[in-house]
Structure 1
Amino acid sequence: MHTIQKRKSFFGKLIIPALTSAVLAYFVLHAKTGQYGSEAKQAFSRQLAVRNAEYAELLAERDALERRVKAMKDGTLEKDMVDENARRALNVAREDEIVILR
């Protein structure tokens, strides 16, 4: 009886570890630089800080506007506020006043 024996190659043992490391490297690369990776997380954190600062500015502006509206409500009308708004709406100034355009 004649048998054919095949000699096992050294490279045959490296195929599975090489494929495994390639797939692992692919996922590690995307975990770092992908759309939801660590670099994107840092960019989102910077963007969140900017948006929080804008939000704080808008809240301050809203509070200022609410104070102005509260000063114009019935029962608490201030003459200066009414005079200022009437002059602005009618585009009127007295002769002794200086007008500063913004």
Structure 2
Amino acid sequence: MRLAKIVLAGAAALTISSSAALISSAALAQQPLTGVVTEVDRINRMVAIQPTQGGTVGANTAGAAEEFKVPAGLSLDTVHAGDKVTYSVSETGGTRTITKLQQQ
């Protein structure tokens, strides 16, 4: 009986620590990203953003621009190619969607 209680307590502790790791990784995924808008397609509600490289290693090399769907709740009227932006992205069913878009 005592051994069973010890095993159950250990399993509960392991479950709690794994849940905390999942929550912290989800929080990291929601951190804002930065980049430069390369294209705005207002008709199809798409925006292409070239992500900003972090750090100093490879800072002069730019990555390829990524295209994102923009939901109807976000305005594209003030965003133009060449603007530096901060943005957040979510992905559902293979479609990457901007959840937050703000000029710097």
Task: Tell me the TM-score normalized by structure 2.
Answer: 0.35
Higher relative contact order (CA 8 A, sep 6+): 2
Task: Tell me the TM-score normalized by structure 1.
Answer: 0.36
Judging by fraction of residues, say which structure has more strand: 2
Judging by fraction of residues, say which structure has more helix: 1
- Greater Rg over alpha carbons, structure: 1
